[in-house]
Amino acid sequence: MGRRCAFVRLGGCNLSCSWCDTPYTWDWTGKGDTGIAYDPKKELQKIPYTQVRDRLVAYGVPLIVVSGGEPLNQQTRLYPLVRDLRDSGHDVEIETNGTIAPDARLAELARFNVSPKLAHSGDPLRKRIVGRALEALAAVPGTAFKFVCRTEADLAEVGAVVERYGIGSVWVMPEGRTQDALDRSLAQIRDPVLARGWNLTTRLHITLWGDRRGV
């Protein structure tokens, strides 16, 4: 948080979290709590990876973050972009929901920020917690796990996932698309998170820009 970077946001997701802060990347039927059915023809663009690479390099920042949607749905297409960015001296981080095991070639080039989803996402357990994928991601050096929590009660669920799958680097982030929502969640989870010896973070972009897109 706070490091200068550029984001690549991919479309499509294999989950449908009710509180997702980027529903415009996947919610074509209005499943999320906004109730908005987004139009994929307006939201998604097919762009050659070389054009994406050149636009990212032009930003002149040291870190590129690939997010979604779910990036590992497209990891075969993603590989040449990540390869070229690493060749040009960039660090690359990929944000994933932890349900898809990474390709070995991609795992050699990027750091993974894994965000397993809890029950409050609304997705069934069998879809949101995939043991073989979590174990594969946990085995990649440098991987960090970030859990989005609303209340102290969510932390027991986090602890169960951490213990079962041997997760080391644990971060907890409050859920919320507004500053008020973040403040409420953060006030509930901050002390018990620190008492467990986990890392605590917030969402700087919400503090700075709210729920705006394209900043």
**Residues that constitute the known binding site:** 9, 13, 17, 19-22, 67, 69, 115-117
Residues in binding site for S-adenosyl-L-methionine:
19-21, 69, 115-117
Bind-site residues for [4Fe-4S] cluster: 13, 17, 20
d(CA 174, CA 181): 8
200: β partners: 172
**Dihedral Cα 192, 193, 197, 200, nearest 10 deg:** -150
Phi, psi (deg, nearest 5) at residue 165: -110, 15
CB atoms within 10 A of CB 100: 18
Residue 30, Ramachandran bin (φ over 0: left; ψ between -120 and 50: alpha; else beta): left
Q: Which residues are annotated as a binding site for substrate?
A: 9, 67
Where do the DSSP E strands lie in 42-182? 63-67, 91-96, 111-114, 144-149, 170-174
Annotated binding site for Mg(2+): 22
CA pseudo-torsion sign 122, 192, 141, 50:
positive
